[in-house]
Amino acid sequence: MNLANKITISRILATPIFLFFLVPGWFGQFLGLNQWGRYAAAVIFILASLTDMIDGNIARKHNMVTELGKFLDPVADKLLVTSALIAFIKTDNLSVWAVFIIIAREFIVTGFRIIAAGRGVVIAADKWGKVKTVVQIIAIVAILIRNFPISLITDFPLGMVLMYIAVVLTVISGVNYLAKNAKVLRDN
């Protein structure tokens, strides 16, 4: 288990801690973790999101790219982001349809990658997927901190607007991904 993989595993382990602070339930409410819990969740989410860049850079720079890392990295990413989205259905009235579209795209892309990997083909993320991910992360953080500091000036729902932009980017990146990689299915 190399350093890059340990960092990736830390992202996986951070996800339930993030959820504890975001959706504290009875125990967390007893501890008074409502708004302060959201701020703690935001810090955990930001730190966990940063580990995605860190583990990848370490793995490439120090020749630590492993099959385990190739498997764990996208799993860690999906766990962190989808846990936030699912929690937002409960805590922030995020549309179930928005969450469904994002998660469905992830399942479809993951399925394509599994088929491609079985044929020895590696399908890297493209610019649309990367932009989608960045917008999702910024939207999640904005929703977590309830649009602070913009909320001091206006009630504009920046986080939700960014989330719906992320949904549009999710559809665009998914369609682009399918179009560019359709040959994976045609080769059957």
Closest listed residue to residue 179, CA positions, set 48, 69, 171, 145: 171
Instruction: Quote the distance between the C-alpha of residue 176 and its chain's center.
Output: 19
Residue 34 lies in a domain: yes
Q: Which two tokens stand for residue 102?
A: 């994002």
Q: What is the DSSP letter of 140?
A: H
Regarding whether 107 and 176 lie in a shared domain, the answer is yes
Regarding whether 54 and 106 lie in a shared domain, the answer is no
* Domain-terminating residue out of 37, 71, 105: 71
Regarding whether 152 and 63 lie in a shared domain, the answer is no
Closest listed residue to residue 109, CA positions, set 172, 166, 174, 182: 174
Residue 168 lies in a domain: yes
Residue 76 lies in a domain: no
Where are the alpha helices (H) located in the chain, listed in sequence order? 3-22, 25-30, 35-61, 67-91, 96-118, 127-144, 158-181, 183-186
Regarding whether 173 and 126 lie in a shared domain, the answer is yes
Count other C-beta atoms under 10 Å from residue 87's C-beta: 20
**Phi/psi at 49 (5° precision):** -65, -40
Cα–Cα distance between 81 and 58 in angstroms, integer? 22
> Could you report the per-residue pLDDT of 63-74, keeping only the tens digit for each?
878 777 777 888
Residue 78 lies in a domain: no
What integer best gives the mean pLDDT of the chain?
87
Longest CA span, the chain: 57
Q: Which two tokens stand for residue 127?
A: 């610019």
Regarding whether 46 and 98 lie in a shared domain, the answer is no
% helix / strand / coil in the chain, to the nearest 5? 80, 0, 20
Average pLDDT of the segment spanning 134-160: 91
The pTM (predicted TM-score) of the whole model is 0.89
Residue 98 lies in a domain: yes
> Could you report the per-residue pLDDT of 107-136, keeping only the tens digit for each?
998 888 888 877 777 777 789 988 999 999
